[in-house]
Amino acid sequence: MTDQFHSGEPIYLQLAERIKRQISRGELRLGEKLPSIREMGLAVNVNPNTVQRTYRELEGLKIVESKRGQGTFVTDDEHVLEAIREQMKEEEISHFVQGMREMGYSDNEIQAGIVSYLTEKGALEQ
């Protein structure tokens, strides 16, 4: 995990987003134990209080569960993780479409560009 953070957003939210992406990609699996607060802080070079806030944020979203004396674990509720993946997909699409519209592309041009890209890249990746 890289320790590069940008100044436009609180570090704890950036770290939470990284963890959500790791879960979404399957790097962290259902029910898997996360590193301890101290271990995570050392790994990403941030204060343990920041990591604790990150874990609390994720717990509030029901993405992770803290078990007293055992640590923090990725939820084993598949529905929660499916909802997170869907939300992340919607956010990425929204950001992409907004950027394309700001550059002056119509919805039809955006759609045609995506179809063309996926057709060309899909053939190359197979």
Cβ neighbours of residue 29 closer than 8 Å, sequence gap 6 or more: 74
pTM of the prediction? 0.79
Quote the CA–CA distance of 53 and 58 in Å, as a whole number: 9
The model's pLDDT over 33-70, given as tens digits with 9 standing for 90+, comes to 999 999 999 999 999 999 999 999 999 999 999 999 99
Residue 1 has pLDDT above 80, yes or no: no
Quote the CA–CA distance of 108 and 60 in Å, as a whole number: 39
Domains along the chain with CATH numbers: 11-76 (1.10.10.10), 79-125 (no CATH)
Q: b or e along 36-54 (b: 16 or more beta carbons within 10 Å of the residue's beta carbon)?
A: ebeebbeebebeeebbbbb
Residue 105 has pLDDT above 60, yes or no: yes
123: confidence class by pLDDT, cuts 50, 70, 90: low
